[in-house]
Amino acid sequence: LVDSDAIEFAARLVSSGKIIAMQGLGGFHLICSARNDDAIARLREWKRRPTKPFAVMAANISSVKEIAHATQFEILQLSSLYAPIMLLRKRQENSISHLIAPGLSRIGVMLPYAPAHHMLFRMGAPDVIIATSGNRRDEPIAKDPEDAMTRLDIADAILWYDREIHNRVDDSVGFELDGELILMRRARGFTPSRYQLSVKCEPAVAFGADMKGGIALTDGKFIYPSQYLGEMEDPLAQDFLTETVNKFLQWLEIKPKAVIVDKHPDYHSRRLGIAFAKELGIPCFAVQHHKSHLWAVIAEHGIQQPVAAAIFDGTGYGDDGNIWGGEFFVASPEETINRVGHVRIIPQPGGDAAAKKITRMALAYLIRIFGHDARKLSLPLFERITDREFEFVKRVVEKSKSPLTTSMGRLFDVAAAIAGVAFENDYEAEAPMMLESLAYPDITVKPYAYQVLEKEDLIELNFDPTLKELSRDTEKKKPKEEIATRFHLTVAHATARVLGILSEKYGVRVAAVSGGVFQNKTLLWMLKKLLSGKIELVYPLLNPANDQGIAVGQIMAFALGQVEPLKT
């Protein structure tokens, strides 16, 4: 079928519970009705995506308002030239499937942005459809009919047109905070873009990190970040990264004189960057993960004065070889970044496996806080813990036989597990997102206890008292909404307090935050309120706080000479 007949047939298929693959501007979507549980369950199984939320496309603003609350600012973003997916607060009563965003209070919504989308709705497709990227989990999006026919075998039909896609690109994702757009994924509509460098440097290319892949290039005057490239564990995503590097170099007519990579010795992006540098015969440099996050904020906002910073995420290779993720820094854009504080260190049982099986991390904290008596706590998570697993984690904690971490991302996992909100992460940050969904924006409630300990030149932030009180509240069966809110406010209070100490100690008036944890809208809102009128707070806007934004920071560090040479 061709032309309108093909689109009308595709619309009928979607209405009848089928799944289609449909070409968009930057690749193929997989589309099905947002009200058909069977189609959604089938799509989830094929994508190996049991619970990760799907985005939906609504025919118009009226349809958006039937399923979600939307501010005027959010409507303007949805209707804009960029047309990102916006994270909107779900209506409690709506007609779409509960399988779309299970356990979450927000849903990703976009409007039609291509002529084919509008025609699909006009030809009779349901007014709200799932429109998810045409790929399996972590793979790049399919960009041409041949690719779609090979990889998207779940589709009952494939709809395409004769416009060739030269550069595959996903949909951008963002949310509103106080009238500002914050991107969680920079892609269609927002790339290519550029940031002006405060100092000139040699042309270079940065290979970013492995989770939420993204590259950046500089011609010596500007930084040009790429679109989202996928998860670098997947070989197809690695190929996409290499393809994107070559395309950007060609489009921008840049001949790089250096390559910059993450400091993590096992990152695929680092391996690819080193190989690229070796092939061209140019030097390769490394930048520590969390310092790259901070340099990225400095680059995006053009900061040219000293800043105090909190960089919170799930994982990153630290200068001491440990897993960092709850870090405080003081930085001078013309000098260097110094680590001045961190979350109290703890063993991470099983290493990376603890990021998925979060009950292990919760056990590590509970055993440190309560000792062997932790087993006597009346907590939901102990219904899932065997005596053997308890003893394993106990030995790990007592003998520190696992990697050590300061991760704030893991702390949110632990709070969710202790409170009985979630017990594993099927996708990145699932448990923290479920915890955030229960919290409400309120800075008048009482935070939990915590400790700020100043040890020589390092501040240690100890949340053991927080988790002790949170455990007692869970035993008392306090509402999960109350527990989640108090936990978020505790982290916000503790962060504000440390930033205040650093402001006084080092005479800085600007505080910067970044890292994936600060994509938590409730936490960021609370921190912003607590610091209002005290310290100027800056945070990532269009360059994501997650690891996609790291490459921008790597370029900034290179421009300022804050890099470490690597042997190639």
pLDDT in tens, 167-223: 999 999 999 999 999 999 999 999 989 999 999 999 999 999 999 999 999 999 999
- Averaged pLDDT, 274-285: 98
- Averaged pLDDT, 478-488: 99
What pLDDT band is residue 487 in, cutting at 50, 70 and 90?
very high
What is the pLDDT at residue 1? 66
From-to residues of CATH 3.30.420.40 in the chain: 343-494
Is the model more confident about 394 or about 486?
486
- Averaged pLDDT, 384-405: 87
From-to residues of CATH 3.90.870.10 in the chain: 3-169
> For the whole model, what pTM was predicted?
0.96
**CA-CA distances (angstroms) from residue 125 to 10, 16, 32?**
8, 9, 9
Q: What confidence tens digit (pLDDT) does each residue in 259-273 have?
A: 999 999 999 999 999
- Averaged pLDDT, 429-454: 97
Q: For residue 232, report the phi and psi dihedrals to the nearest 5 degrees.
A: -75, -5
- Averaged pLDDT, 4-22: 96
Can you tell me the distance from the alpha carbon of 494 to that of 408, in angstroms, rounded to the nearest whole number?
12
Which residues are 204's β-sheet partners? 218, 258
Domain 343-494, classified CATH 3.30.420.40, yes or no: yes
What is the pLDDT at residue 24? 93
- Averaged pLDDT, 348-358: 92
What pLDDT band is residue 4 in, cutting at 50, 70 and 90?
confident
- CATH code of the domain occupying 3-169: 3.90.870.10
With b for 16 or more beta-carbon neighbours within 10 A and e for fewer, the 41-78 pattern comes to ebbbebbebebbbbbbbbbeeebbeebbebeeebbebb
Range with the poorest average pLDDT among 172-181, 302-311, 382-391, 488-497: 382-391
What is the pLDDT at residue 2? 65
The mean pLDDT of the chain is 96
- Averaged pLDDT, 446-471: 96
* Sign of the four-CA dihedral 276, 321, 348, 472: negative
Percent of the chain surpassing pLDDT 90: 91
Residue 106: alpha-carbon gap to chain centroid: 15
What is the pLDDT at residue 475? 98
